[in-house]
């Protein structure tokens, strides 16, 4: 990569003095300016930048909302109404924050499925990938606690149902629930604890994101072919090529985000949450936010309470084992015609689980949830391990440049080590 200088040399005397003591500018230059990225990256690789933007947006709007919110069971609902009606641009802050959570999950689900499709979880990116799963778990915890804070009917009863799940854990379950509640039922101590944790967790997410980016810069970025960078012709510097693409994608996503904020701000919420929390009145149908629905469907598909909790947790934890469950030597699904069919079937099953999670737990909805849950786990435990041995992948291009130029030497099978990362790449 000699045509892309990677050593930052300050020009001013102050810059040289500062760089010798804290090489911050050099770190930024090597990580976000001269850092080589594959030249064939598509717009699916811009969702990392979109997620970074959404994280900052959620933290900023959340900090301002916290200035006016009152974490008290008797005043929380009214304080939210005060923000919406009396605080200058409070309605905008709340709608940005509430819809921002949904946009955050839209972007992260695209990011995850892109990861699955192009095999970005494979060696040598296992730690990078597992850090991403940890970020997703922290996001889920943060979003759940944030959903409780408006203290409407769905907030209160959602908190009651979800926290009660921990009681299914043998021996320590009831103790965990009592610590979460701060008493014998969901109440003011619960709201205080959830508010405190909801404020704290985004900063923990930001810390893990920093580790995620650090881990990304060790092996470098994956690409649609799954082939590592082999020469300078396979890569371009991060700035301006990836930077311009990221900025454009963020602006387009902001327009999409703005549509929901200004035209359909309450569409993704639930009408019952505009009713103050009432422990004496249970809503007819308790449902979580849309981004939890697939896992909620898996929870309800198992008739046993403990079994449902285990299945719901395993549905995410199993992602951490994908680098070892996938036995194929080919990274990208684009070169795996048989697995591609199973992948899209898996996507359809995930959407079906999301829809089933919003339906009542009765009749054929439960049966359909059980079938989809069975395939969900079969995809990881049967399809991924078995297809690696029986599938015949398409021939891979010899380099990233070759795939971009559209020239490919036809060969029988995959060259040995075609997807191996060079050990010197850092």
Work out the widest C-alpha separation in the chain, in whole angstroms.
Answer: 75
Is 29 annotated as ligand-binding? no
- Dist CA 349 CA 191 (whole Å): 35
- Dist CA 218 CA 1 (whole Å): 16
Q: Please, what sign has the CA dihedral across residues 102, 108, 109, 114? A: positive
Place of tokens 């604890």: 193
Contacts with 91 (C-beta within 8 Å, 6 or more apart), sequence order: 83, 84, 85
Is 270 annotated as ligand-binding? no
Q: Tell me the two tokens of residue 84.
A: 């919406």
Residues 345 and 375: beta-carbon distance below 8 Å: yes
SS3 letters across the chain: CCCCCCCCCCCCHHHHHHHHHCCHHHHHHHHHCCCEEECCCCHHHHHHHHHHHHHHHHHHHHHHHHCCCCCCCCCHHHHHHHHHHCCCCHHHHHHHHHHHHHHHHHHHHHHHHHHHHHCCCCCCCHHHHHHHHHHHHHHHHHHHHHHHCCCEHHHHHHHHHHHHHHHHCCCCHHHHHHHHHCCCCCCHHHHHHHHHHHHHHHHHHHHHHHHHHHHHCCCCCCCCCCCCCCCHHHEEEHHHHHHHHHHHHHHHHHHHHHHHHHHCCCCCCCHHHHCECCCCCCCCCCCCCHHHHHHHHHHHHCCCHHHHHHHHHHHHHHHHHHHHHCCCCCCCHHHCHHHHHHHHHHHHHHHHHHHHHCCCCCCHHHHHHHHHHHHHHHHHHHHHHHHHHHCCCCCCCCCHHHHHHCCCCCCCCCCCCCCCCCCCCC
- Dist CA 32 CA 34 (whole Å): 6
Is 285 annotated as ligand-binding? no
Give the annotated binding-site residues: 97, 111, 198, 212, 217
Q: Residues at the annotated binding site for heme b?
A: 97, 111, 198, 212
Query: Which residues contribute to the annotated binding site for a ubiquinone?
Result: 217
């Amino acid at each position: 990569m000699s045509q892309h200088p990677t050593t930052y040399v300050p020009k001013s005397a102050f810059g040289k003095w500062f760089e010798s003591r804290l090489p911050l500018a050099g770190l930024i230059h090597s990580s976000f300016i001269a850092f080589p990225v594959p030249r064939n990256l598509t717009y699916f690789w811009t969702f990392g930048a979109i997620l970074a933007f959404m994280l900052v947006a959620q933290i900023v709007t959340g900090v301002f909302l916290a200035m006016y919110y009152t974490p008290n069971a008797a005043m929380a609902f009214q304080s939210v109404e005060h923000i919406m009606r009396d605080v200058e641009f409070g309605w905008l802050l709340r709608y940005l924050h509430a819809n921002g959570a949904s946009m955050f999950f839209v972007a992260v689900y695209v990011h995850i499925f892109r990861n699955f499709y192009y095999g970005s979880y494979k060696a040598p990116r296992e730690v990078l990938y597992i850090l991403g799963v940890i970020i997703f778990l922290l996001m889920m915890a943060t979003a759940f606690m944030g959903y409780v804070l408006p203290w409407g009917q769905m907030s209160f009863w959602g908190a009651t149902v979800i926290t009660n799940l921990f009681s299914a854990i043998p021996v320590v379950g009831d103790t965990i629930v009592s610590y979460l509640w701060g008493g014998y039922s969901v109440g003011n101590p619960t709201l205080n604890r959830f508010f405190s944790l909801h404020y704290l967790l985004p900063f923990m997410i930001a810390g893990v994101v920093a580790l995620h980016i650090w881990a990304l810069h060790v092996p470098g970025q994956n690409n649609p072919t799954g082939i590592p960078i082999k020469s300078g012709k396979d890569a371009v510097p991060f700035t301006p090529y990836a930077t311009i693409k990221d900025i454009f994608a963020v602006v387009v996503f902001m327009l999409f985000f703005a549509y929901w904020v200004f035209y359909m701000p309450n569409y993704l919420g639930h009408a019952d949450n505009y009713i103050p929390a009432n422990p004496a009145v249970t809503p007819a149908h308790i449902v979580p936010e849309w981004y939890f629905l697939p896992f909620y469907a898996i929870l309800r598909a198992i008739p046993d309470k403990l079994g449902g909790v285990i299945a719901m947790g395993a549905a995410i934890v199993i992602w951490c084992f994908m680098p070892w469950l996938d036995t194929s030597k080919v990274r990208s699904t684009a070169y795996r015609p048989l697995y591609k069919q199973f992948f899209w079937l898996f996507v359809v099953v995930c959407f079906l689980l999301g829809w089933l999670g919003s339906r009542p737990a009765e009749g054929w909805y439960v049966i359909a949830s059980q079938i989809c849950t069975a395939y969900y786990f079969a995809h990881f435990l049967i399809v991924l391990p078995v297809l690696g041995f029986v599938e015949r992948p398409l021939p891979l291009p010899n380099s990233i440049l070759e795939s971009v130029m559209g020239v490919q030497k036809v060969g029988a099978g995959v060259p040995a080590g075609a997807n191996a990362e060079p050990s010197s790449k850092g």
